[in-house]
Structure 1
Amino acid sequence: MHMIDLAYVGRGPHEELVTYIADQEDFYAEEGVHVALRDGCTWDAERLRHGAVIGLGRTLLSRLRDDIPWVALNVNTYRPLFWFLARPGLTSLADLHGRRLAVHPPHTGPGCFTRIVLRQAGLDPDRDVQTIVRWPGDYGMDLRGLQDGSIDAAVIGDTMAPAAVAGEHGWRVLAFVGDHFQIPTVGVAVDPTYTKPDDPAVQAVVRAHRRALQVIHNDPDTTVRHLHTFLGRHTTEEVRAHYEAFIAPAFTTDGQVDLAIGINAITAISAELGVPATFTAAEFYRTATTTPQASPPEYVQ
């Protein structure tokens, strides 16, 4: 059986759901690979590049800034699962002018995406908004800040169902980031310097993840059951509503990339970072093929 380290660099179903389904449904074992799942949220790029990585947004930023030759082999979604959640009185992104907004650091994927969306709304993220930068987590402190009024809005990830939380507290979901900015994100990426894209372990992970994507689209009950593991604060009905609104329509069916979206994303990210793009979308996103498993895996008793 092959072995590989697979690191996640963010928390929540957008990052972890496909991997979780692949593990819980025994797809990894059936594809002949033992996956050691690693928490790489605080790892630097040098440590991450020695194994496979789930986060494609982070690896794209790293390739642009650090010139590490990451390649993406599987794409889970084009729509970053982050939302602008706001206190009463704000009805649009434009209303964030002069307001206190909790955001991810600008050097992170979601932080960069947020800045792009703010600019699209006519806001300078450095001048027009009072940004409170914090490291992404479960966003519990953001909810506390919204409750006590110390912040007016927050960009949150999907460690919670935003519509349900907004309804519970009388807040408003100003925008879904995925409606305003698309980028091939979360999947499987490797640095060929250390891990070859055609390595049997890597290919087995890609096949397992593509099987998990099929579960997401073809087996809603199983997906909602697994999704509830991440959204334990919510009822089954709220989890299913979140699945139907954001997971089922946002995730790919086959892990393939739309290069046109990739081209636009690389252009936007490089402009936001102020660095040139020295590679093409086709060079970064290599999702076209996977190597079939040659024979059934041998299990060591």
Structure 2
Amino acid sequence: MTPAVRGLMLSPLGKYLTLAGLLALICFAGTVHSAGSPGLERILITHSSESISIAPLHYGMEKGFYHKEGLDLQFRILRGDLAIAAMVGSKEVDYISGAGTAFAAAVKGFPVSVLAHDFKSVFFYLMAQPNVRGGKELKGGKVAVSSLGGTGAVATRATLRAIGLNPDRDVTVIVIGSASVRMAAMEAGSIQAAVMPVPWNFRMRKKGFNELIYAGNVMSQPLTGIATSREKLERNPDQVRKMLRGFLVTLNAVKREKKEVTNFIERKYSIEPDVAEEVYGVMVQALTEDGTVPESALQDLLEQTKAEVGVKKDIASSSIVDYRLLKEAAKHFRRQGESVP
């Protein structure tokens, strides 16, 4: 255990981390780090829900891009705060596909690093009951998110402000698990609105729910990508390099293989062909060029995150986002004459 983690464990924040990590350990023990494919290193990556933001990850796994790098990459759904705790504390999680979640955790003091960004904007929509057509009708209601500290929570606050509501006073924000559970809560009428990822917004529109606002129109912060613990980055950089090489190959394939990716989206998310093509178009437009985003975007995200979580001390974005091994992975492909972003 590093001094940084030891100090964190002894703090009030650490007590929460330990409890959350224990819960994650109970969930995963005996199921993830058992023997995997022969000759491959088995690792776990998590995300808070099934959404289009992890379509590239799933596509890369299905195509075997990570296998080619020697990784047996496993995926699980796990709430963002529990994933951070399990990544830093119990080590049951190796990576998370949630750069925004990791970024916020790092601002709060968790020893995590963002390694790469696959998207430069978010894929969340604020969906509401049929009788809710704006902020006036939503005021005083309940709005569901997957967690209070994840990317969806940031999108929730931004969209609520955009329709004239104060997220701290005008609504009650509650945590209701995955997207499927939030949609069930909407259908039951127990909540008035929920922030939903693509393609869930399409499904809900067909059921008569209102699409109040697209979060991408009011925020452009880079909130999706890969993150890990600083300990992993320091102690096992070779594994991180393999992970990032698989990431870059996937990013390139998603841009070039329109038909295959569209068919994959249709099958993976059980949506109609025309909707899958529309989703692909939205997704490709939001992809980063090479897994990085401009420093100005990171600085904007840093200032907003500090304000959201109440942190006033000076923090450099470079202490949170570390592109060194990503750029090294890109050079690896260029040396071999292979096409990468």
TM-score by length of 1: 0.83
Q: Does structure 2 retain, via aligned residues, the 8 Å contact 1:163–1:173?
A: no
Selected match of 1:137 from 170, 178, 182? 178
Distance in 2 (alpha carbons) for counterparts of 1:83 and 1:149: 18
Counterpart AA for 1:221: K
* Match of residue 167 from structure 2: 125
Map of 1:235 onto structure 2? 272
Q: Tell me, yes or no, if the aligned pair for 1:217 and 1:253 is still in contact at 8 Å.
A: no
Within 5 A, what are the aligned runs for 1:92-171?
Answer: 92-93=134-135, 95-131=137-173, 133-139=174-180, 141-158=181-198, 160-166=199-205, 168-171=206-209
* Greater RCO (CA < 8 Å, at least 6 residues apart): 1
Structure 1 residue 243: deviation in Å?
1.9
Aligned counterpart, 1:59: 102
Cα contact 2:125–2:213 (8 A) shared by 1: yes
| Shift, 1:208, TM fit | 1.4
CA distance 1:104–1:114, change in 2 (3 Å)? same
Q: Which residue of 2 aligns with 1:33?
A: 70
User: Structure 1 residues 2, 184: CA separation in 2 closer, same or farther (over 3 Å shift)?
Assistant: farther
Task: Trace 1:271-282 onto structure 2 (pairs within 5 A).
Answer: 271-276=307-312, 278-282=314-318
Query: How big is the shift at 1:11?
Result: 2.1
Counterpart-to-counterpart distance in 2, 1:76 and 1:2: 25
Q: Which amino acid aligns with 1:47?
A: A
CA distance in 2, matches of 1:222, 1:196: 37
Amino acid at match of 1:163: F
Asked if structure 2 preserves the Cα contact closer than 8 Å seen for 1:214 and 1:253, the reply is: no
| Equivalent residue letter for 2:258 | P
Pick from 123, 134, 138 the counterpart of residue 81 of structure 1: 123
Identity, % of aligned positions: 17
Deviation string 1:6-43 (CA, Å, 9 cap, x unpaired) is: 3213222444322222222222233x221332426143
C-alpha contact (below 8 Å) 2:42/2:73 kept by paired residues: yes
Query: Are the structure 2 counterparts of residues 169 and 264 from structure 1 closer, same or farther at C-alpha, using a change threshold of 3 Å?
Result: same
Query: 1:179 Cα shift?
Result: 1.8
Task: Judging by fraction of residues, say which structure has more helix.
Answer: 2
**1:232-272 C-alpha deviation (Å, 9 max, x unpaired):** 1x21222222222x211112232112211111111111101
- For 1:280, give the aligned amino acid: A
Q: Deviations over 1:210-253 (max 9, x none)?
A: 12112222221111122224311x21222222222x21111223
Is 1:173 the counterpart of 2:211? The answer is yes
Distance 2:49 2:186 in 1: 21
TM-score by length of 2: 0.74
Q: How far is 1:164 from its partner?
A: 4.7
> Quick one: distance in 2 between partners of 1:70 and 1:130?
30
SS in 1 for 2:328: coil
Cα distance in 2, alignment partners of residues 93 and 206 from structure 1: 42
- Partner residue, 1:194: 232
Q: Do the aligned partners of 2:148 and 2:175 also contact (CA within 8 Å) in 1?
A: no
Pair 283,256 (structure 1): closer, same or farther in 2 beyond 3 Å: same
Q: Which amino acid in structure 1 is aligned with residue 294 of structure 2? A: D
1:156-192 residue CA offsets vs partner (Å, 9 max, x unmatched):
123x3413530x2233211111221222222222222
- Structure 1: segments with no counterpart, 5+ residues: 296-301
Cα distance in 2 for residues equivalent to 1:259 and 1:24: 32
Measure the CA separation in 1 of the matches of 2:177 and 2:188.
20
The letter of the residue matching 2:308 is: E
The Cα of 1:55 is off from its aligned counterpart by 1.4
CA distance in 2, matches of 1:46, 1:267: 24
Report whether the alignment pairs 1:17 with 2:59: no
Q: Work out the number of aligned pairs and report it.
A: 287
Deviation at residue 276 of structure 1 after TM alignment: 2.9
Deviating more after overlay: 210-219 vs 90-99 = 90-99
1: CA distance, partners of 2:188 / 2:228: 43
**In the TM superposition, what is the alpha-carbon distance from 1:150 to its structure 2 partner?**
3.6
Match for 1:228: what amino acid? E
RMSD: 2.7
